[in-house]
Every structure is written in structure tokens, then in C-alpha cells.
Amino acid sequence: MGIKTRHLRVDAGEAVDLKRWPTRVEPVYGSKHSYEEMLSEHVGRLSEMQELLYATDQHAVLVIFQAMDAAGKDGAIKHVMSGVNPQGCQVFSYKHPSPTELQHDFLWRTTRDLPERGKIGIFNRSYYEEVLIVRVHPEILKGESLAGDGDDGKRFWRDRYRSITGLEQHLCRNGTRVVKIFLHLSKPEQRKRLLERIDTPAKNWKIGPDDLKERTYWKQYRKAYEECLSATSTRDAPWYIVPADDKPNARLMVSRIILETLEGLSMSFPKVTPARQRELAAMRRKLLRD
């Protein structure tokens, strides 16, 4: 079965109801072996495309991952990007903002980490936390020293969505393609994975009391995600809702989405000019005389 990403993309202006989006679909792989073969093929192709991205030096790609806890963001990044040259790809994860970061606007700390031309940047969580966890826990706004009320009124959040889409439009106009992936996990599957973290000593470090506390806000997070996905998926910077209950399936879909993004840039290696050909010929002759 081929991987079709079109049905995963949120159309601009589409109202998202996550209950209507599946967390598990029929696997695109037939067996563990076929999964490994497909992923290997995707990883190899991604490596080739990243080299082409670097050689052309005209575009950058920013991949944003957002999800509920235990949805598999780390694993997807690790497996999908395993074959990409580390010099051409950077991963940034964002936790609670520092005092210095709180003294700036909410986009400042992530803007510093945007990828330069020729590179792929990956945000494991991102500025979208400011309309997700902050939406669920509006008391966090008190630490941001905002002018005015800074409450959870509709206008406040609408303005934040506008700031985000404005940034992404600016990036697109200046050569950075933004692709956003929401790993859509079900509540029962999250419970299963959290229990596995408790029952597996090597995974104990991955779980703490806050994970269980945040799980009690499941409905609030779902609503925050629905409004965020609806308000910020655009033609140039779309959201993809990837069913995440099946980790291998999700990784194959993620790799296909990133590949299609790179292929959509219509890149080619720089043409060799006559002057460059003469330079190369002279260098070749010099080497043969050594």
C-alpha cells in the first residue's frame, strides 16, 4: 500500500474536530521486514535530498513536531532523520522558558534557532506551546509580563495565531519551507505507553508526576489543539495530522511528508559554467602531475 499524505493535511480554513481524525489506520507496511525496508528507502532518499538542499543553498526546511505526551516525537525524529548528515540538520527541544526568554516576545527564543539556508531544522515542540500549554494553563501568562490584561479572551489568542501565521508567511517568502506535524495519539494508547515507562526500568526516566497531572487535562488540550490546527494551517505552512497509535506507521508517514516537502522545492545541483569546467580541468591536470 502506498503512503498518501494528502488526506493527512489540514486545509487552510478547515475546522478541525479531532474526534473525526483517526489515531490508527491500516498499516502502510505488511510486516516488520517491509517496514524496515520502506523506512531505509525513505531515510536514504532524505539523505540525498538534504545533500541537494545544501548544495543549492537557496532554501531551508523547518519541521515542527507537536503532540500529547508519549506520542512518539523523539522516536520519529530519531528514526526518520537517522541517515541525514548531522552538519545539515539541527534539532531543538523547548521546555519551560528561562527568565531571559520571558523578557522577550513569545516568538523570540525559537526564532533564534531557525535553520539557515541549505539546512533542515527540527523543532521538538515549538512556539506553538504558547497557544497550547499556555492556553490550558493561562496562569503561565503571569510570568510573561504582558502589557494589558493578557487574559484568555478570544482576541488575545486570535492575535497570537496571527503572529504565528505572519511569521510563517515571512519565512516562506524568504526561502524557508515550514511543515508542521501533529502526532495524533489516543488516550488509551497514551495510558499504555505511560505504563510501559513505569514498568520498564530503562524507561523510568521518561516519566514523572507532571505527566499524569497533564493527562487529566486531556479534553482541554484536545480543544486547544483543535483551535490551533484550525487557525494556523495554511497553504504555505500546512499542518499534517498523523495517526500515532502505530509507531512504525507514523514514522513512515512522517518520512513521506518530509520527503514530499523537499521534493516540492524543485531543486537541482548547480550547473557547471564553462569557467568552472576550465578550473576543474586545471585542477585535474595538477593532481595527475603529483
Q: CATH number of the domain that 242 lies in? A: 3.40.50.300
pLDDT tens by residue, 189-228: 999 999 999 999 999 999 999 999 999 999 999 999 999 9
Q: Say if residue 149's pLDDT is above 60.
A: no
Half-sphere exposure of 150 (CA within 13 A, CB side): 16
**CA–CA dist 237, 256 (Å, integer):** 16
Share of the chain above pLDDT 70, in %: 97
**CA–CA dist 268, 259 (Å, integer):** 15
DSSP state of 117: T
Question: What pLDDT sits at residue 87?
Answer: 87
Position 41 in a domain: yes
Query: What's the domain range around 258?
Result: 6-289
Per-residue CA distances from 222 to 17, 99, 133, 138, 190 (Å):
9, 29, 11, 16, 14
Position 275 in a domain: yes
Look at phi and psi of residue 13 and say left if phi exceeds 0, alpha if psi is from -120 to 50, else beta.
left
Question: What pLDDT sits at residue 270?
Answer: 84
Share of the chain above pLDDT 90, in %: 84
pLDDT tier, 145 (very low <50, low <70, confident <90, very high otherwise) = confident
* Cβ–Cβ under 8 Å, residues 95 and 213: no
Position 76 in a domain: yes
What the block records as the C-alpha cell of 274 is 564553462
Position 1 in a domain: no
CA 190 to chain centre: 20
Helix (H) or strand (E) run with residue 229 in it = helix 218-232
Position 183 in a domain: yes
Question: What pLDDT sits at residue 148?
Answer: 57
Query: Number of structural domains, the chain?
Result: 1
- Tell which residue, 198, 239, 177, 200, has the closest CA to residue 18: 239
Of 19 and 141, which is predicted with more confidence?
Answer: 19
Average pLDDT (16-40) is 96
**CA–CA dist 23, 102 (Å, integer):** 35
CA 95 to chain centre: 16
Average pLDDT (166-179) is 97
Q: Say if residue 85's pLDDT is above 90.
A: no
Q: Give the relative orientation of helices 32-56 and 73-80 as an angle to the nearest 10 degrees.
A: 70
DSSP state of 185: -
Position 103 in a domain: yes
Q: How many CB atoms lie within 10 A of CB 247?
A: 17
Of 154 and 109, which is predicted with more confidence?
Answer: 109
* Cβ–Cβ under 8 Å, residues 182 and 242: yes
Average pLDDT, the chain: 94
Max avg pLDDT among 83-97, 150-164, 226-240, 261-275 = 226-240
Question: What pLDDT sits at residue 151?
Answer: 54
Half-sphere exposure of 239 (CA within 13 A, CB side): 28
